[in-house]
Chains A and B, each alone.
Chain A
Amino acid sequence: MEDVVVDPDMELLQRLKAGDEDAFMTLVDKYGPLMLRIALTHVRTRAVAEEVVQEAWLGVLQGLDRFEGRSSLKTWILRIVANRARTRGEREARSVPLSSLVSDGGEDEPAVDPDRFFGSDHPMYPGGWAIPPHSWARMPEERLLAAETLEQVRAAIAKLPPRQQEVIVLRDVEGWDPEEVAQALDLTPGNQRVLLHRARSKVRGELERYFDGVAV
């Protein structure tokens, strides 16, 4: 089953294979920011993230001859940087408290605090909202998009476990398709969705706390 995709970067890829420096720098400008962002989901400092991106580009250059176009160039590059960043992040993490790592696992992480729902034995509303969300519908757009709100969103994303960050960045920030993300990050469609679900649920929860004025 040869599944060769039509790659928008085909021309750049050909030039890069021929050793064209301009083609390389064009790709650096095109995908570098995203690569850096993905690296930063795994490692703690900008300096280390820069190193990860440099290692990843070297990996791209070294692997060019083996790249067969089974995925797009974009997906392939992302996969390389995500792998390097993960390895580097794991190495760093050995000297970091374990608590910051464990929440990525498969254990239950409810999207909403279970205490906000009635119990399943409630006579009227089993499993219904006991404390429903306040409406955001009347919130003016200026408040939604205020610098302070966006700062809350960035902080909430930065707090997520690395794999959730990767998925929410690629899906919601970069607008990638679920299939592309699953391919780039070596995830099944189901796992991709679970990670996205947890990420969005937590960021929504943080926003809610902020809008309700409970958060500091």
Chain B
Amino acid sequence: MTADGPIVPGGISCREVVEIVTAYLEDALSPEQRSRMRTHLEMCPPCAEYIEQVRTTRRLAEAATAELELRPDRDALLTVFREFKQGS
């Protein structure tokens, strides 16, 4: 990489990286795209940070809703079951 040309690590722009992050994390990129993405991430700290933030987001999504106690109305469901059995 020289100072006199544009710098586009791995031949992917940062703007493109943020759009293929999920495909990268899902292992849905072609081997060639994957290797270019790796090159980009090694050379571009902001994009490496970005992908870390997506990972953190995933972790926080789990933590945020794990503590939500959502229990449906059991009595109502028991009634559904009993009425169904009677009717069948």
Query: Which residues in A have some Cβ–Cβ distance to B below 8 Å?
Result: 19, 21, 24-25, 28-29, 32-33, 35-37, 40, 50, 53-54, 57-58, 61-62, 110-112, 114, 117, 120, 122-129, 132-133, 135-137, 144-145, 149-151, 153-154, 157, 168-169, 172-173, 175, 178, 189, 193, 196-197, 200-201, 203-204, 207-208
- Beyond A127-B13, A128-B13, A204-B54, whether A58 also contacts B70 by CB under 8 A is no
Contact partner, B74, options A25, A110, A136, A203, Cβ 8 Å: A25
Q: Which residue of A lies closest to B72 (CB)?
A: A32
The CA-CA distance from A112 to B58 in the complex, in Å, is: 17
Query: Which residues in B have some Cβ–Cβ distance to A below 8 Å?
Result: 6-8, 13-16, 18-19, 21-23, 26, 28, 44, 46-47, 49-50, 52-54, 56-58, 60-74, 76-78, 80-82, 84-85
- Beyond A24-B81, A32-B72, A197-B21, whether A203 also contacts B57 by CB under 8 A is yes
Q: Which residues of A contact B82 (CB under 8 A)?
A: 21
Q: Assuming A19-B85, A168-B61, A173-B62, what are 18 further A-B pairs, CB within 8 angstroms?
A: A21-B78, A33-B70, A37-B65, A50-B72, A111-B19, A122-B6, A128-B7, A128-B8, A128-B15, A128-B44, A129-B47, A154-B65, A172-B58, A173-B65, A175-B62, A193-B28, A200-B22, A201-B21
